[in-house]
Amino acid sequence: MSAIQVHRRLVAGLARWFAWQQPESGGVEVIETHISTVLLAGCYAYKIKKPVDLGFLDFSTLDRRRFCCLEELRLNSRLAADLYLDVVAITGNPDQPEIGGIGTVIEYALKMRRFPDGSLLSQQPERLDEALADRLAREIADFHAAIATPGIVPFYGAPEQVLQPMLQNFTQIRSLSGTAYDAVLAPLQQWTLATYRQLEPRISERRREGYVRECHGDLHLGNIALDGDRPILFDGIEFNPELRWIDTISELAFLLMDIEEKRRSPLGWRLLNSYLEISGDYRGLELLRFYQLYRAMVRAKVEAIRLHQTGVTAAEREQLQAEFFTYLENARSYTGEGRAALLITHGFSGSGKSTLSERLSMELPAVRIRSDVERKRLAGLAADADSFSAPAAGIYTPEFSARTYQQLLMLAQVVLKAGYGVIVDAAFLKCRERDPFTMLALELGLPFLILDFQVSDEVLRNRVRARRLHGSDPSEADEKVLAHQFRSAERLTASERKRSVAVNGQELQLSALAKQIQAYCGG
């Protein structure tokens, strides 16, 4: 009798044991994947690894299965400690097994808290809203920051190790379909190789800088469950360290690609901007499209494998074919250079710059860089921390402000060269602050536009007063700061006004403004 047949007998025996132990639970539900069997019994789920060796994973021996159960518990407890409970021993024999009994151990199971059916975000992508996107960004960024970085891990994250699975995707799809899709696959593979050669030094540099970490490894919407409004990130990869010791931006790329595939792109941009604002990893954008294409090809490969399996109905085949081509089209979209343009804001504190730029970053789309956040990052402060600085003092001295605007300029250059549009959210009340950004756009040959916020003094005072009372915004501006700005501000010059669009304090038609900006920038 084969090991898989013994596994099936064990699962059937456990189903009978649970039904006897918990007759009130209404029966046991069994879910199978190609590598595991999960038994849903009452309020718990028991995951048993199949005795298989697929090359990229090895569950062929009891010791290996126990080790991988313990690894799965360790790794997933980082993000879902209340979901992953324990590794339990199974004793008895395959026909009469028992969990937690005495005697020889015949198998191990991972015990988990069961979540309600339909809780996966992939099953209800409409639940992804701005608040949830921000919460996911915070959870992922905090998770990445908390992962220990023990220095360079041998082989993991090295350029050749990054490229290998990318090329395997093309090989495996062709092994299933022959040359049927070569007209689509060939340019994608050529782009992958060309981009890899261009990025190879950066991949190595990112590894040296510590961005290759023991990540989740499989972070997509199907591995995010919702417990009320709380997202639970689960089912990280335990069976192959090469697939989880990856660049943090590769991990983020998988989720962003999946959100785009579900036609929720504006919320993907919201999540990306929130993650970048928290992590400060704007240089990671240089590799984002490279990894997004890779993740799209992984999904295309999975659909191709399912498409060529036996027992697939005609309706299922049609759906799989459509999904396969959707992922190929997504992959193709990442080979474009994007529509880079540089936008800066101009206006007093309380004029609505941050509120509007946040909305525009989703609508255009673009990457937003905030002076309030980067100023505090330079000072070693959290975005919501109070520096207790008086006007023109502390982190608001002319010298520190000059450092802040220099940092904004550097980050804008990084993002623009990576092929993304930029909105720099700052007051820009001085010509010396605006001029370098004008020059940067000219040097790069990119469109440049000033969003000129025009709001009455009374409204400005009311807004900064209310914001300080609420105390949840990175801005520390109060009425004293506003008065200082009124005295020292330098109006836009005549040439600057020609490259500006007025934004007043009335209700804005965001899409109309976005179209106006896109038309100006040649989009």
Pairing assessment for the beta strands 230-233 and 224-227 based on DSSP bridges: antiparallel
Residues 6+ apart with CB under 8 A from 332: 184, 187, 188
- My answer on whether 417 and 439 are in the same domain is yes
Per-residue confidence (pLDDT) for residue 26, from 0 to 100: 66
At 335-390, the pLDDT tens digits run 987 778 999 999 999 889 999 999 999 999 999 999 999 999 999 999 888 888 88
Q: Do the domain assignments include residue 120?
A: no
Q: Do the domain assignments include residue 292?
A: yes
Q: Do the domain assignments include residue 305?
A: yes
Instruction: Return the bridge partners of 53, or none.
Output: 58
Pairing assessment for the beta strands 342-346 and 448-454 based on DSSP bridges: parallel
Q: Do the domain assignments include residue 212?
A: yes
How many C-beta neighbours within 10 Å does residue 60 have? 15
Half-sphere exposure of 79 (CA within 13 A, CB side): 30
Q: What does the alpha-carbon distance between residue 115 and residue 83 come to, in Å, rounded to a whole number?
A: 8
Q: Give how many domains the chain has, as a whole number.
A: 3
Q: Do the domain assignments include residue 195?
A: yes
- Stretch (H or E) spanning 458: helix 457-470
Are 274 and 373 in contact by the 8 Å Cβ rule? The answer is: no
Are 142 and 79 in contact by the 8 Å Cβ rule? The answer is: no
> Which whole-number Å values give the CA distances from 240 to 127, 236, 333, 477, in the listed order?
31, 10, 30, 50
Give how far the C-alpha of residue 232 lies from the chain's centroid of Cα atoms, to the nearest Å.
14
Q: Do the domain assignments include residue 417?
A: yes
Q: What is the CATH number of the domain that holds 236?
A: 3.90.1200.10
Q: What does the alpha-carbon distance between residue 168 and residue 81 come to, in Å, rounded to a whole number?
A: 34
Per-residue confidence (pLDDT) for residue 410, from 0 to 100: 98
- My answer on whether 181 and 321 are in the same domain is yes
**Locate tokens 């379909």: which residue?**
177
Q: Which of 101, 104, 76, 73 is nearest to 87 (CA)?
A: 73
Are 417 and 364 in contact by the 8 Å Cβ rule? The answer is: no
Low-confidence winner among 140-144, 378-382, 497-501, 516-520 (lowest mean pLDDT): 516-520
- My answer on whether 85 and 53 are in the same domain is yes
Per-residue confidence (pLDDT) for residue 339, from 0 to 100: 77
- Helical H segments across 34-158, by residue range: 62-80, 130-146
Structure tokens at 475: 């801005």
Q: Is 36 helix (H, G, I), strand (E, B) or coil?
A: strand
Q: Is 39 helix (H, G, I), strand (E, B) or coil?
A: strand
Q: What is the CATH number of the domain that holds 459?
A: 3.40.50.300
Q: Is 457 helix (H, G, I), strand (E, B) or coil?
A: helix
- Stretch (H or E) spanning 467: helix 457-470
- My answer on whether 71 and 105 are in the same domain is yes
At 80-113, the pLDDT tens digits run 999 999 999 999 999 999 998 888 999 999 999 9
Per-residue confidence (pLDDT) for residue 150, from 0 to 100: 66
- My answer on whether 152 and 197 are in the same domain is yes
Q: What burial letters (b/e) apply to 191-219, b meaning 16+ CB within 10 Å?
A: bbeebbeebeebbeebbeeebbbbbbbbb
Per-residue confidence (pLDDT) for residue 484, from 0 to 100: 87
Using H for helix, E for strand and C for coil, what is the string for 235-250? CCCCCCHHHCEEEHHH
Helices and strands counted in the chain (H then E): 17, 15
Residue at a domain's end among 313, 333, 353: 333
Low-confidence winner among 9-13, 398-402, 446-450, 477-481 (lowest mean pLDDT): 477-481
Per-residue confidence (pLDDT) for residue 330, from 0 to 100: 95
**What's the mean pLDDT in 194-204?**
97
> Which whole-number Å values give the CA distances from 4 to 9, 285, 318, in the listed order?
9, 44, 31
- My answer on whether 196 and 266 are in the same domain is yes
Q: Is 104 helix (H, G, I), strand (E, B) or coil?
A: coil
Per-residue confidence (pLDDT) for residue 25, from 0 to 100: 62
Residues 6+ apart with CB under 8 A from 59: 35, 49, 50, 51, 52, 53, 65, 68, 239
Q: What does the alpha-carbon distance between residue 365 and residue 398 come to, in Å, rounded to a whole number?
A: 32
Task: Say yes or no to pLDDT of 523 above 60.
Answer: no
How many C-beta neighbours within 10 Å does residue 312 have? 14
At 231-288, the pLDDT tens digits run 999 999 999 999 999 999 999 999 999 999 999 999 999 999 999 999 999 999 999 9
Domain of residue 299, residue span: 125-333
Entry field: residues in the chain: 523
- My answer on whether 184 and 309 are in the same domain is yes
Q: What does the alpha-carbon distance between residue 10 and residue 345 come to, in Å, rounded to a whole number?
A: 65
Are 197 and 163 in contact by the 8 Å Cβ rule? The answer is: no
Q: How confident is the model at residue 186 (pLDDT cuts 50, 70, 90)?
A: very high
Whether omega for the bond prior to residue 365 falls within 30 degrees of 0, making it cis, is yes
Q: Which of 151, 149, 152, 147 is nearest to 236 (CA)?
A: 147
Are 318 and 189 in contact by the 8 Å Cβ rule? The answer is: no
- Stretch (H or E) spanning 422: strand 422-425
- My answer on whether 206 and 146 are in the same domain is yes
- My answer on whether 365 and 479 are in the same domain is yes
Residue at a domain's end among 113, 139, 169: 113
Amino acid 257 reads M
Task: Say yes or no to pLDDT of 27 above 90.
Answer: no
Q: Do the domain assignments include residue 119?
A: no
- Helical H segments across 147-264, by residue range: 159-177, 182-209, 248-261
Residue at a domain's end among 89, 113, 137: 113
- My answer on whether 199 and 83 are in the same domain is no
Q: Do the domain assignments include residue 361?
A: yes
Secondary structure letter of residue 448 according to DSSP: E
Q: Which of 152, 149, 158, 147 is nearest to 74 (CA)?
A: 147
- My answer on whether 97 and 185 are in the same domain is no
Task: Say yes or no to pLDDT of 522 above 80.
Answer: no
Q: Is the whole model's pTM more than 0.95, yes or no? A: no
Per-residue confidence (pLDDT) for residue 505, from 0 to 100: 54
- My answer on whether 320 and 217 are in the same domain is yes
